[in-house]
Amino acid sequence: MIGIVCDTGTDVPDEVKHKAYVQVVKLKVLLGDEVIKDREEGNTERIIEFMKSGFPKTSLPSFHEVKEKFQNLIDQGINDIIALNLSSELSGTHNVFRLVAEDLLKENDSLRIEVMDTLSVSIGSGVLIAKTSEMIDEGVGYETIVDSLNQFIPGSSKVFFTIPTLKYLKAGGRIGKVSGTIAEVLNLKPIISVGDDGIYYTAAKARGLKKAYKKVIELATETIKSGNVRIAGIGWTGSDNRTLNKVDEIIETLKGFGIKKIFADHISASLLVNTGVGLIGISTLSE
């Protein structure tokens, strides 16, 4: 059996993360002096409330927390492990995983561990993990899966999203190559993607959030039409009707292209910190 270890910054789909061979390390958020973890009940709502008057911060998982997840797989008799993380340009999580893997390989020479930087984030990383899980379930061998992922990364996974304001990306130091001070004054909303270097950049701009959502769909549609896309993801933040109605619309649009697997979920709390509410994003994996 092959195992997967990832972090919540990859927004791994529910149908995947609950499988016995998958372990997910929870990233952490600092609300002042309080530390809370991703994907625990009520934490998203608490962060949204905190963001009305302050800026939460994120915190890396500890070496021990990451090693524990690897050990959970090893204790199941799983010696072939693939670790997938959100872009190393957006978080130091990948480096913690790498150090843990080096430590484990010194302790046990029967292990095979591949630590892979997805060079993406959230649902952009999630589609890669969904594909990895699919290959495991189909009985594909470890080396073949690793080779396939190396062909997918970078470039095959695309993610496009827009947000009402850039202030949280700026506050968190995750702005990358996205510029928007003048654009925000003119109500121009950036459609953000992640480049092959794992850094955010502006893929397009639109005047107003409604048109920006439309542009996100257009860019994702262009990618779908130009490649063999069988897996797609949708991510969002907040729970207002405008956002949720748009998500439903996107799901129906993607179904119209005959995409085999579509997963949709509110993004993790640790990523919400850098985006604020009102985000809508689409990811695709071209095979």
Task: Read off the pLDDT of each residue in 76-85 and give the average, rounded to a whole number.
Answer: 98
Q: Is the pLDDT of residue 183 over 80?
A: no
Dihedral pair phi/psi, residue 53, rounded to 5°: -135, -5
* Nearest-angstrom CA–CA distance, 123 and 192: 13
Q: Name the least confident of 53-57, 118-122, 220-224.
A: 53-57
Segment holding 43, helix H or strand E: helix 43-50
Pair 200, 172: CB distance under 8 Å: no
Pair 119, 155: CB distance under 8 Å: no
Q: Is the pLDDT of residue 182 over 60?
A: no
pLDDT averaged over the chain? 93
pLDDT at 94: 98
Task: Read off the pLDDT of each residue in 111-132 and give the average, rounded to a whole number.
Answer: 98
Task: Read off the pLDDT of each residue in 202-215 and give the average, rounded to a whole number.
Answer: 93
Terminal C-alpha separation, the chain: 24
Q: Which has the closest alpha carbon to 278: 145, 200, 198, 189?
A: 189
At 8-50, the pLDDT tens digits run: 999 999 999 999 999 999 999 999 989 999 988 888 999 999 9
Domains of the chain and CATH, by start: 2-152 (3.40.50.10170), 157-286 (3.30.1180.10)
Task: Read off the pLDDT of each residue in 174-179 and give the average, rounded to a whole number.
Answer: 69
**What residue has token string 């910190």?**
273
pLDDT at 234: 98
Q: Is the pLDDT of residue 160 over 60?
A: yes
Decide: helix, strand or coil at residue 271.
Answer: helix
Q: Is the pLDDT of residue 181 over 60?
A: no
Dihedral pair phi/psi, residue 28, rounded to 5°: -125, 155
Task: Read off the pLDDT of each residue in 98-103 and give the average, rounded to a whole number.
Answer: 98
pLDDT at 184: 59
Pair 236, 281: CB distance under 8 Å: yes
Q: Is the pLDDT of residue 101 over 70?
A: yes
Segment holding 187, helix H or strand E: none
Between 125 and 172, name the one with better pLDDT.
Answer: 125
Take residue 254 and report the two structure tokens written for it: 């993607």
| Confidence bin at 180 (pLDDT 50/70/90) | low
- The proportion of the chain whose per-residue pLDDT surpasses 70, expressed as a percent, equals 95
Q: Is the pLDDT of residue 279 over 60?
A: yes
